[in-house]
Every structure is written in C-alpha cells, then in structure tokens.
Amino acid sequence: MLAALLYGQEDLRLEKVADPTPAMGEVVIRVQAATTCGTDLKVWRRGGHAKMLKPPTLFGHEAAGEIVALGEGVTVWQLGERVVANNSAPCMECFFCQRQEYSLCPNLTWNNGTFAEYLKVPAAIVERNMWRIPDDLPSDLAAMTEPLACVLHGIARSNVKVGDRVVVLGDGAIGLMFVAKLVSDFGVEVFLFGGNDCRLEIGRKLGAKATFNYRNIPDISTVVKEITQGYGADIVIEATGVPSVWESAIACARPGGTVNLFGGCPRDTTINVSTELLHYSELTLKGVFHNTPYFVKEALGLIASRKIMFELLVSESRPLFDLQQVFWDMRERKVIKVAIVP
C-alpha cells in the first residue's frame, strides 16, 4: 500500500509498504478519509512527539474508514462496517485508570498511520475505543472525532458556568472547536484571538461574540480587560502550544479565573509565572491532555447530530499524493483541516 512515513523534521515521505495483516484482536480498515491536524503540523515541524510517536514511523492519527479484515477473536465487528478508531486506548488497569483518569494512563496504546490506504488498529483500541459511524455521516466529518474529543475533555476540565466570559487564544481547528462547543452548549460569551482573518470569520460563524487579530494588538491582556470591565476573563483557553501565549493566557484571567493551558508546547520549554499573581488572584491553572473513550464517543455523537457546522473546518479534500503540499499549506496557514483521500 501507499503510506506516509515521518523520518524527521519536515521530512515526510510517501512510500510503498506491505499491506497490514491483523493479528489476534486487531482489525484493518480501508481509510476513506484522514483529516490533518494542528498536532500533525507541530509533529511534522518538530520531527517527533514526546508521547505519541518516534520517527521513522507511519504518520497521521485522524481517520474514518471501512473494516476490510478481522483478526482472530474479533466477533463484535463485521467486514464492511464504517468505523472511527481513536489513536489511543487506556490499559484500564493502572493507578490512573482505576481512578478514571484515562488520559494519564502511562500504558496508553498509541496508533498512527492514517495517511495511508489501510490502517491496522491494535486490539486494545478495537476493544475499548473504536466506534461505528452512522450511515448518513460523511467520512471527512467523522474523521474529526479525535480532536473534538480532546476539546470536549478540555471543556469538561475548565469549570465553565453559564454566563461566563471565555477567551480562546488560537484560531486553528482546536480553537474553533472550542468556540463552537462553548457557544452551542454553555450559553457563554466567547472572544476569539487569532492571527488569520479568514479563520476569525469562521469563528464568528460558529458563534464567537467578537474576534481579534493579535497582529493588530500590542497587548492581548489589555484588550481582554477592556472588554470585561477591567476584570479579565472567567475562563481562558490557550490553544496554540506557544510558551509566550501560555503566559499571555495567564495574564488574561480575572482574579478567581481558570486558565486551561491546552496547547502542547515543545519539549523542555518553560514559562514564567508571577507567584504574586497566582497566589493573590487565586488563579486555577490547568494542563489538559488528550482525550478518553467517553469523550470520543460523545464527540462522534455530536458530529453526527449536525448541530454544529464542523464542515466549516474542512478547507478541502486532497489525494494522498498531495500530502507534502498540504503540510506546506498548513505551515503557511492557507488551510485549516484537509481531508486526505487515499
């Protein structure tokens, strides 16, 4: 089959590799659509990921497809079923899993390789984190289940209350998903900050009360205080993975506010935090990582409901042969998410 392999920093190659064969408990799906992701872009630019993969490796982690092969012992799935297989599954046995803190499981089974004609799904994911796609749901929308699951997990950890004023820093797919879900379900005012006017316009379509291009703003926290009667935001969600923006996020919160440091920064980076501000303003700083099977199921259901216009996030569909160009376009912020069709 044809597949994309990541060899290092911005070194992505399409190669012919052997078609996968399922072992006991595994399945193989024919990929119908694999969506690109901001995490993919960061991994491509950085040449790896601290937890999910180490080059050289098959690449990509968001996909929807059809089961074409079943391993021995697989009885609850059938050939021809359309599924979303999440890119991880917890062990269910460790200290953290026993406390239902599944995203912290040190034994997570990871899976990559969605930018390919076929994807082999490990037994742990088949058993605990693979879900049927409704017949009327297009594959390019279903493929976005994984990032939306991360967003739902992030929102659940953010102490959001009706009437809150929320600032989202970052106009990528994740930031826009935060906007859409927060406005749709929580009755909050969301202010979106980003650097791309086209994406900010999509943010307004998804319900943002106001949007701001940070390139035209000397200091984001000053603007946030101006639009919140001098207090700052109740909730701040950082969705860029840039250390300096983490610091800006903390500066945007009101006393007693919550800051969700959601965007993953490069390994070994640090930020400066004022101990006086943290203590006397009683701030809550949260790092939120990845998702859980519960939120994967919830995300697929939300996409299938068509309650939110997630199709606004899919800029275009492209063949697998165009993948390298797609990542160059993502680097230049010409597209948000692209559906790769092998």
Are 143 and 52 in contact by the 8 Å Cβ rule? The answer is: no
For the whole prediction, is pTM greater than 0.85?
yes
Tokens of 131: 């879900």
Domains of the chain by range and CATH?
2-149+290-341 (3.90.180.10), 158-287 (3.40.50.720)
User: Which amino acid is residue 89, in one-letter code?
Assistant: A
- DSSP string for 179-233: HHHHHHHH--EEEEEES-HHHHHHHHHTT-SEEEEGGG-S-HHHHHHHTTTTS-E
Distance of alpha carbon 190 from the chain centroid: 19
CB-based contacts of 218, cutoff 8 Å, min separation 6: none
Are 146 and 38 in contact by the 8 Å Cβ rule? The answer is: no
Per-residue model confidence as pLDDT tens digits over 186-211: 989 999 999 999 999 999 999 999 99
Secondary structure letter of residue 75 according to DSSP: -
Task: Provide the residue-wise pLDDT of the chain in tens; the chain has 342 residues.
Answer: 999 999 999 999 999 999 999 999 999 999 999 999 999 998 998 887 767 778 899 999 999 999 999 999 999 999 999 999 999 999 999 999 999 999 999 999 999 999 999 999 999 999 999 999 999 999 999 999 999 999 999 999 999 999 999 999 999 999 999 999 999 999 899 999 999 999 999 999 999 999 999 999 999 999 999 999 999 999 999 999 999 999 999 999 999 999 999 999 988 999 999 999 999 999 999 999 999 999 999 999 999 999 999 999 999 999 999 999 999 999 999 999 999 999
Secondary structure letter of residue 4 according to DSSP: E
The single residue listed with the structure tokens 């959601």 is 262
Question: CA angle, 81 as apex, 63 and 21 as ends, to 5°?
Answer: 70
Q: Burial of 334 by CB count in 10 Å (0-12 exposed, 13-18 middle, 19+ buried)? A: middle
Per-residue model confidence as pLDDT tens digits over 62-94: 999 999 999 999 999 999 999 999 999 999 999
| Cα-based torsion angle of the residue sequence 216, 221, 224, 225 in order, rounded to the nearest 10 degrees | -130
| Cα-based torsion angle of the residue sequence 267, 332, 144, 58 in order, rounded to the nearest 10 degrees | -60
Cβ atoms within 10 Å of 258's Cβ, excluding its own? 21
Are 320 and 339 in contact by the 8 Å Cβ rule? The answer is: no
Per-residue model confidence as pLDDT tens digits over 242-280: 999 999 999 999 999 999 999 999 889 999 999 999 999
**Taking the CA atoms of the chain, what radius of gyration do you get in angstroms?**
20
SS (H, E, C) 264-316: CCCCCCCCCCCHHHHHHCCCEEEECCCCCHHHHHHHHHHHHHCCCCHHHHEEE
Distances from the Cα of 113 to the Cα of 80, 118, 308, angstroms: 20, 8, 28
Are 222 and 193 in contact by the 8 Å Cβ rule? The answer is: no
Give the span between the Cα atoms of 112 and 86, in whole angstroms. 10
Of the candidates 209, 206, 208, the residue with the CA atom closest to the CA atom of residue 308: 206
Give the span between the Cα atoms of 330 and 323, in whole angstroms. 10
Tokens of 10: 């911005």
Are 303 and 181 in contact by the 8 Å Cβ rule? The answer is: no
- Specify the DSSP element, H or E, that contains 248: helix 243-252
Give the span between the Cα atoms of 257 and 275, in whole angstroms. 15
Give the span between the Cα atoms of 271 and 65, in whole angstroms. 40
Helix (H, G, I), strand (E, B) or coil at 113: coil
**pLDDT value at residue 50:** 64
